[in-house]
Amino acid sequence: MLRAAVERSFEIIGEALSQAQRFFPEVVGRITNEQNIIAFRNRLIHGYATVRPALVWDVVQSHLPRLREEIAQMLREADEHK
């Protein structure tokens, strides 16, 4: 269940970036590896048979912290401009 929840969260993140890219490309462009995040979402949804748990865990450990920090920075900047 934990694995399914983590994968679902990545699917949501990837879909959100995909949608945001259409309307706010300048914002999404500030996110490191935004295209890889969207591609990972697509692989989780359409190529789920090829997704290894070790790959998901590597993304959690290696890439998620940077994404969280970049989003947090954007939110701080948005608060400063209010």
Cα distance between residue 56 and residue 12, in whole Å:
14
| Rounded to 5°, angle at Cα 82 from 73 and 35 | 35
Q: Which two tokens stand for residue 42?
A: 């697509």
Predicted pLDDT at 48:
82
Give tens-digit pLDDT for 60-76.
999 999 999 999 999 99
pLDDT band at 6 (very low <50, low <70, confident <90, very high): very high
Domain edges within the chain? 2-80
Q: Output the pTM of the full model.
A: 0.88
Predicted pLDDT at 29:
95
